[in-house]
């Protein structure tokens, strides 16, 4: 049962990010990729869910763990993401504890940080495209940003990255716990290789907006 659960977790991640396992094998004959399930409906575990977030480049660079065990550097983006608890979602969060900038386990570095992970939660807080933007509970969605947009090096890849500055946001009169996550731009999640500009990707950002496609140009969190 434990093996089945882990395989299911891998399948969910692959479906969510459009991942190509073959790219891991091409990058290294012995991949250090390690998918783990963090928390459960019975075990409280807090994590950031960035699936529907747009981000802002910081002008800095961020180190990313590679499947071979080394580091690769990418342009960095700052993404403000809602913080969820697995006891509230009733579902474990999915992590690559050897990827992103994780350190080998689900445990965050300290009590002031969380990891940005994946979840199959059907609803979670998302920021609107209004002026000013407001938080509200929205259904999870997905859209594809076409290769013709040349944004393949501009989407943020936030799977298994550290988040801090956890705080309560009152935007729109809705109390939402959020955290700041620093993520690479244009990184393939499992190979840790840079994407080509003319690469399509999928994102949950903008799916509840009046003009969903506009999110493709706002450094949305995504993958392919």
Instruction: Report domain extents, the chain.
Output: 2-223
What pLDDT score does 142 carry? Answer: 97
Confidence (pTM): 0.86
Structure tokens at 222: 């995504």
What pLDDT score does 173 carry? Answer: 67
Residue pair 137/124 in contact (Cβ under 8 Å)? The answer is: yes
Give the containing element (helix H, strand E) for 75.
Answer: strand 71-85
What pLDDT score does 86 carry? Answer: 98
What pLDDT score does 171 carry? Answer: 72
d(CA 106, CA 37): 8
Find the DSSP H helices in the chain: 2-17, 21-27, 86-89
By DSSP bridging, strand 71-85 and strand 123-127 are unpaired
Residue pair 207/37 in contact (Cβ under 8 Å)? The answer is: no
Question: Which one, of 207, 220, 103, lies nearest residue 155 by Cα?
Answer: 220
d(CA 155, CA 221): 6
Residues in CB range of 96: below 8 A, 6 or more apart: 13, 33, 34, 35, 36, 102, 159, 160, 189, 190
Half-sphere exposure (Cβ direction) of 62: Cα atoms closer than 13 Å: 26
What pLDDT score does 25 carry? Answer: 36
pLDDT tens for each residue of the chain, 224 residues long:
333 333 333 443 443 443 333 333 333 457 889 999 999 999 999 999 999 999 999 999 999 999 999 999 999 999 999 999 999 999 999 999 999 999 999 999 999 999 999 999 999 999 999 888 899 999 999 999 999 999 999 999 999 999 999 999 877 667 899 999 999 999 998 799 999 999 999 999 999 999 999 999 999 999 97
């Amino acid at each position: 049962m434990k093996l089945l659960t882990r395989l299911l977790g891998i399948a969910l991640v692959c479906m969510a990010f459009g991942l190509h396992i073959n790219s891991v094998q091409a990058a290294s004959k012995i991949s250090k990729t390690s998918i783990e399930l963090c928390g459960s409906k019975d075990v409280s575990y807090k994590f950031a869910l960035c699936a529907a977030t747009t981000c802002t480049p910081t002008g800095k660079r961020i180190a990313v763990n590679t499947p071979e065990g080394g580091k690769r550097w990418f342009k960095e983006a700052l993404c403000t993401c809602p913080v969820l608890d697995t006891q509230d979602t009733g579902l474990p969060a999915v992590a690559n504890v050897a990827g992103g900038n994780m350190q080998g386990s689900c445990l965050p570095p300290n009590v002031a940080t969380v990891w940005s992970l994946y979840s199959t939660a059907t609803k979670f807080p998302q920021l609107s495209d209004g002026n000013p933007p407001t938080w509200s509970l929205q259904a999870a969605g997905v859209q594809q940003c076409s290769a013709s947009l040349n944004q393949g090096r501009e989407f943020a890849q936030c799977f298994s990255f550290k988040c801090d500055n956890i705080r309560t946001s009152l935007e729109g009169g809705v109390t939402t716990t959020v955290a700041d996550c620093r993520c690479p731009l244009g990184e393939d999640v499992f190979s840790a290789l840079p994407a080509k500009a003319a690469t399509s990707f999928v994102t949950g950002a903008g799916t509840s907006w009046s003009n969903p496609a506009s999110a493709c140009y706002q450094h949305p969190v995504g993958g392919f």
